[in-house]
Amino acid sequence: MKAVVIGCGRVGSSVAKALVRHGWDVVAIDENEDALTRLGEDWKGGFLVGHGMDVELLREAGADEAEAAVVATNGDNTNIVVGQVLEKRFDIGCVVVRILDPARAELYSTLGLRIVCPTSSAISVLIEAARSCEIRPERATA
């Protein structure tokens, strides 16, 4: 199974490594060639330097045959557009897009993109963590 990972920062590189551990053929793309170091010395997948909007680069990365794509650059709008290009132009069945802005995440998820919004997740987790704190009796008001 083949996957392309666009954006090889903290998130993208970890996802790429995990997919390789699960037996996927992975090609990662990042604008910055230093991002390769995040993948570790024993990286067995592919790595290309360039922008996710570059169709030729996506093709070179194997987007034509890929079954899955993860889009996690540091730009929400880039992720939104690249995700749609991978879905519509390259017909990849499973495209997962990271969007940090909860408003855009909700909108594009209603438009049919498969969105992961770490900000929304963090908000829920933080609220849950705060609410589950044990309140010391002397501070409890009611």
Partner 1 sequence: MYVLVAGGGKVGANVTRTLISWGHEVTLIEQRRDRFERLEAEFEHRVQVGDATEMFVLERAGIRRPPDLLVAVTGDDVDNIVICQMAREHFGVQKVIARVNDPRNQEHFDLLGIQPTVSATANVLAMIEHEVPEHELIHLLELKRESLEIVEVQIVKDSPSVGKRIDRLSLPDGSRLISVMREGRAWIADEATELQAGDQVLAILEAGKEEELRGVLLKR
Rule CB under 8 A: say whether 104 interacts with partner 1: yes
| 3-class SS shares of the chain: helix, strand, coil, % to 5 | 45, 20, 35
Burial class (CB in 10 A: 0-12, 13-18, 19+), 83: buried
Contacting residue, 1, 55, 122, 127, with partner 1 by CB under 8 A? 55
Site for partner 1 in 70-99 (CB under 8 A): 75-78, 80-81, 84-85, 88-89
Between CA 26 and CA 2 the distance in angstroms is 6
Rule CB under 8 A: say whether 1 interacts with partner 1: no
Rule CB under 8 A: say whether 53 interacts with partner 1: yes
Q: Point out which residues bind partner 1 (CB under 8 A).
A: 53-55, 75-78, 80-81, 84-85, 88-89, 101, 103-104, 107, 111
